[in-house]
Amino acid sequence: MHILMISVRADHGGGPRHMELLLRALPETVDAFVACPTEPPYGERFHVLTQGRVFSLPHRRFSLVSAVKLVAYARKQRVDLIHTHGKGAGLYGRIVAALTRKPCLHTPHGIHVAQYGIFAKWAYRLYENASARWVDRLVFVSAEEQNSAQNEGLWLRTASSVIVNGVDVVTDESRDLMRHAMRVSHGVNDAALIVVTLSRFDFQKNMQEAYEVAKAFPEAMFWWVGEGGESDELKLRAKAEGVGNLRFLGVLDDPTAVLAASDIYFTTSRWEGLPLAVLEAMSMGLPVVASDVTGHRELVGKSGGGELYPLGVASKAVDALRRLTMDNTLRREMGERGRNVQRKGYSTRQMTDSVVSLYRRLARNVGGQ
């Protein structure tokens, strides 16, 4: 099979990371082609993983010229199936599917309508539902995401599947070695308590609230990995207000060692699909404190691997973090609970096997018509 994966992002984010995990685990019987921007870090990674089978797209922008060229590229490479990741990629994929008559899967990676006004939400719903005739199946990364789509009136007539996200399993030995090395390199002793967050600094990730929590809880060190539109503002605030327990680590191509060096994972997102960052924290045995929103409930609430707090109530997040910092046994038990859940139900292997099975089923149905 020849599969074309499409994304209008190749910078840091859950969608590109999801694609990377899939590409690394695909069987030899599947040849993958990728259409995406050539930006770091994933542009180069996709180039390596596909042995150069990458078509360049503009970053988060639709180009009719690029769409026409992508159709020609798909025909030349004899693509059997298109898999789009995120709503921007969805438009390209539907054009390619319509003109090549090949099946198309779409993975939304979150239902991103929270900041839309009434008219924008109406227009987006109209576009998605009208163009869904060229989507053969929706692939949601969690049951919560599927329910959110239904509640928003999206893709109600399109067949859908839930294939949960998965990440790689980390051994105890690897985790302990990374933890020691990272703490030594940052001059942090083993007794210090570190709360880590991997994030973009934008509306969805709600890092203003994370800042209020860090400011109100000086007993812990907060390590933030990532950047975005709000990062400069938050750096200035931290300096002006003397918040000395907050470290901005910037963008890291591989944050695994930072997770290993930490004690608690913290996230303030306004919504998620099924966040890979939380799963990666769970794979390290970190208990999670997370906002009580879609994507977090399924992972944190159901697994018992952490605590949920009401979105917008920073004091409740501080309370949850304080409980975990004061009770080593609780922290360890929650971390192990989450780690066991990740290993049993959220592995890269399980995710990829399910996706490839769906690829084959759709390609077979088209071939038999």
CA distance 38 to 43: 5
Domains and CATH numbers, the chain: 2-166+348-367 (3.40.50.2000), 172-345 (3.40.50.2000)
Half-sphere exposure for 45 (CA within 13 Å, toward CB): 18
pLDDT score, position 103: 97
Distance of CA 85 to the CA centre of its chain: 11
- Provide the total of helices (H) and of strands (E) in the chain, helices listed first: 16, 13
Give me 13's structure tokens.
Answer: 């984010």
Give me 25's structure tokens.
Answer: 């685990």
CA distance 204 to 187: 32
pLDDT score, position 368: 41
What's the pTM value of the predicted model, to 2 decimals? 0.89
**Local mean pLDDT, 10-residue blocks, the chain (369 residues):** 97 93 96 96 96 97 97 98 96 98 95 87 95 97 93 95 94 94 94 95 95 97 94 96 96 92 97 93 97 92 93 98 96 96 94 97 70
Give me the residue label for tokens 């913290």. Answer: 266
pLDDT score, position 366: 64
The residues that bridge with 35 in the sheet, in sequence order, are 6, 55
pLDDT score, position 47: 97
pLDDT score, position 43: 95
CA distance 342 to 349: 12
pLDDT score, position 369: 42
Give me 269's structure tokens.
Answer: 């997102």
